[in-house]
Amino acid sequence: MVTTNLWERLADKALQGEVLTKEEALSVLNADDDELLPLMQAAFRVRQTYYGKKVKLNMIINAKSGLCPEDCGYCSQSIVSNAPIQKYTLLDKETLVAGAKEALNRKAGTYCIVASGRGATDREVDQVVEAVKEIKNEMPLKICACLGILSEEKMAKLKEAGVDRYNHNLNTSRGHYSEITTTHTYDDRVETVKHAKHAGISPCSGVIVGMGESKEDIYEMSLELKELDADSIPVNFLNPIAGTPLENMKELNPRYCLKVLAMFRFMHPTKEIRISGGREVNLRSLQALGLYAANAIFVGDYLTTEGQAATVDHQMIEDLGFEIE
């Protein structure tokens, strides 16, 4: 089929290090559902070239919940949310270290310490630093921190403690940003990713799909992440939480989510693409197909929503004939 040949040409282009044009990227997002399997096969050819059949597992700990002054419309922890969630200050060192042990039990290679708020205070950064030092001394884990908007000085402290990666998602495109958040800017997020990189920490930055953005916006997000040279790209699919401004935003289906993952693989052939929040509720019975494009997932729960049991993810990976990295 002519269209099938297009996907193979896009795979060839990705493997040659060429960037998809907007027209090519949109052709992936607009692909007919009948073309889904050939599309995923082409994406898998790129994924397999750089990552084989290995799957990276990450686990999140919600290190500080709620109490956030920002107005991000998707987030149950924001000041504009009425969602009934737990609210607490930063967890103590012992609890953070215990979470790392649980990450190992779930076969995760990366442990993500995530705290709500605009940005961690000096005291909170110091608390995380102490926990990270102990974890790195005791366990063979990579540590990812996600502590909001941080200065280069605070990033340097995290780097010295042994933090391997810093996550700060762009979430949406520059043009759509004010529809989602007004209490900080798109450039605040871009600068934070750059601060991590300047400190020598691997930058992790991704998106949330399904917040009313256009397909052109998704392409723009992907281009920006290419410009930032993010090493790890979490692709979240909106899980509309009751009590948040986006609670009624339900525009995704599993097939479209797979097309998004394929486009990100073509756009970022050598990078870690991680299926992140909203995986279970949006990909549903097609979750396994997502790993033909992506090479990483979260195991366990997310920040304020539940994920499926880690054993189910382990079984899914085994059933695919893939293996945990």
Q: Which residues does the annotation mark as catalytic?
A: 68, 72, 75, 112, 144, 204, 274
In the DSSP assignment, the letter for residue 167 is E
Locate 92 and state its tokens: 């103590």
Residues in Cβ contact with 136 at an 8 Å cutoff, skipping those fewer than 6 apart: 143, 161, 162
Burial class from Cβ neighbours inside 10 Å (0-12, 13-18, 19+) for residue 275 reads buried
Taking phi first (over 0 means left), then psi (-120 to 50 degrees means alpha), and beta for anything else, what does residue 150 get?
beta
On the CB side of 44, how many CA atoms lie within 13 Å of its CA?
16
Q: What is the DSSP string of 32-82?
A: -GGGHHHHHHHHHHHHHHHHTTEEEEEEEEEEEBS------TT-TTSTT--
